[in-house]
Amino acid sequence: LPLVDLGCGNGTQTRYLAARYPKVTGVDLSLAAVEHARGQDPDGEAEFEQLDATDPKAVEELHGRLGDANVYVRGVLHQCDPADRQPVADAIATLLGEHGRAFVVELAEAAKAVLAGLAQSPQGPPPKLRPVFAHGLAPAEVSDAALGQLLTDAGLTVVAEGQLPLISTEYTADGRRIELPARWLVVGSAGAKAS
């Protein structure tokens, strides 16, 4: 199946996935992010396009062009406005269709305390986290239970799940790489079974 990187941002992970899968499309709400991602992919290993995942018609059109797809989602749901979380989960279900699987990675509830500690350090938050706080984003606001519920409310079945650290490219003042607690889920259509 084709692979969709939902919320691809600057396309770094999309390009990584494109080196491993035959057809990868990165989509993002931000046109600036999509244009940046295209500029970082001069060989055209992946396709990039703007998509508002809360627009059911636009999501259906993408599914119509690609057919059932596998979907990679990393850190998107916790960044959404609360009212947009269910529409984005519904978009994942639409893109999967009957045969796709999604790999969803989101910050765990425990990440909130880690982020709060970083924000309150004497040096302030690390440079890449400063815009997150400056723009009023509230990382790790989706509870662990709510994450699963969003996906099941979209008609999806969780076939596997676990925890792992989300390793960032940022470091603490004492030189340690910042790792944030995260949850991962593999989901499929309602009839999906663990394999």
Residue among 103, 91, 93 nearest 155 (CA): 93
Give the pLDDT confidence score for residue 106 in this predicted structure. Answer: 94
Q: State yes or no: pLDDT of 132 exceeds 90.
A: no
Q: State yes or no: pLDDT of 190 exceeds 90.
A: no
Give the pLDDT confidence score for residue 193 in this predicted structure. Answer: 67
Domain 52-189 fold is Rossmann fold (3.40.50)
| 22: its two tokens | 């035959």
Is there a contact between 124 and 130 (Cβ–Cβ < 8 Å)?
Answer: yes
Give the residue, 88 or 124, on which the prediction is more confident.
88
How much is the mean pLDDT over the chain? Answer: 90
**Residue 124 confidence class, pLDDT cut points 50, 70, 90:** confident
Give the pLDDT confidence score for residue 153 in this predicted structure. Answer: 97
Q: State yes or no: pLDDT of 54 exceeds 70.
A: yes
Minimum mean pLDDT range among 10-24, 83-97, 137-151, 152-166: 137-151
- The helix (H) or strand (E) run that includes residue 181 is strand 177-189
C-alpha count within 13 angstroms, C-beta hemisphere, residue 33: 19
Q: How are the residues of the chain apportioned to helix, strand and coil, as percentages rounded to the nearest 5?
A: 35, 30, 35
Give the pLDDT confidence score for residue 194 in this predicted structure. Answer: 59
Task: State pLDDT tens for residues 68-106.
Answer: 999 999 999 988 999 999 999 999 999 999 999 999 999
Residue among 2, 108, 8, 90 nearest 49 (CA): 8
Segment 126-153 mean pLDDT: 78
Q: Which residue has the tokens 């999967």?
A: 96
Give the pLDDT confidence score for residue 48 in this predicted structure. Answer: 98
Q: Output DSSP code: residue 77.
A: G
- Predicted TM-score (pTM) of the model is 0.89
